[in-house]
Amino acid sequence: MKAKVAAVLLTLGLGSTCWAQDAEKKSVPAECTKTIRVHGLVPKGPFKFLLKESYKGSPLIKYQTQEDGTVSNATLTRSSGVADIDKKVLDAVARWKYKPRPVGCGVIETEMSLIFDPLMK
């Protein structure tokens, strides 16, 4: 059975952490904490469901945004229960690009959930 799946992107922005390169900094400028995605798609189905697999919930992805806007260290912290969804989400996030931030801002770590609703058409 093929399920049509729509994706909604939720970024847990409050859970984002910014590491400044200068450890002595007490406060981080606002332009260092903002991440603006300028390129990146959310994977769309169809997804391959193996007989033993069932959708258990939205996958949770953790990744780092570098100063130059590239994404690194994308990892799956909670599986959707469907290997094809998990793989396509990780591959998509790894290709995202963000607006570059000023030198010295450091890395921003984000944890994000993609919600797939199999009932949406």
- CA-based nearest residue to 34, from 78, 81, 83, 99: 99
pLDDT of the chain along its 121 residues, tens only? 444 444 444 443 333 444 444 444 457 788 888 888 898 888 877 788 888 888 888 899 999 999 999 999 999 999 999 899 899 999 999 999 999 999 999 999 999 998 766 544 4
Distance, C-alpha 101 to centroid of its chain: 18
Q: Give the HSE-up count for residue 105: Cα atoms under 13 Å, Cβ half-sphere.
A: 23
Decide if 59 contacts 78 (C-beta within 8 A).
yes
The total of other beta-carbon atoms located within 10 Å of residue 12's CB is 12
